[in-house]
Amino acid sequence: MFLRWWLGRKKLNNPKIPSMITTYFIDLQKVITEWFEVLVPGAKVAMVVDNVRFEGEFIPVELVLSEMAEEVGFEVKEIIVARYIGNSSQQTFLKF
C-alpha cells in the first residue's frame, strides 16, 4: 500500500504523525467501502480532497484514496488537479 511505503520512508519530527495519518485514512477507507457496498453496480462517485502537509511533509491524499477505492472494487477513472496556488493546498477531484 502506498501509505505504508510513504510512512516508512519518511523521518518525521513528530512521532504522532503516523498515527494521525493512519486514523484519517482508516476513516476514509470505511466510507469508500460503504459506498461500494451500497451503491448500485456502475454508479459513479466523485470526491474533492486536499493534499496536506504534516510538519512540512507532503501527503498525496488523492493517490492513497485512489488505491483504497481500487482495493474495494472501484475503477478509478480520473484524477483531476482542480487548483494549485503556491503554498496553498492542492485540491484534487477523484472520479471512480
Is residue 35 over pLDDT 90? yes
Are residues 57 and 12 in contact, defined by beta-carbon separation less than 8 angstroms?
A: yes
Take residue 10 and report the three cell numbers written for it: 519518511
- The confidence score (pLDDT) of residue 8 equals 65
- The confidence score (pLDDT) of residue 2 equals 56
How many domains does the chain contain in total?
1
Query: What distances in angstroms separate CA 40 from CA 23, 37, 78, one per listed residue?
Result: 28, 8, 20
Give CA–CA dist 62/94, Å, rounded. 7
Partnered with residue 59 across adjacent β-strands are 52
Average pLDDT over residues 77-87: 71
Is 28 buried (19+), middle (13-18) or exposed (0-12) by CB count in 10 A?
middle
- The confidence score (pLDDT) of residue 61 equals 86
Domain ranges, residue 71: 2-95
- The confidence score (pLDDT) of residue 7 equals 64
Is residue 73 over pLDDT 90? yes
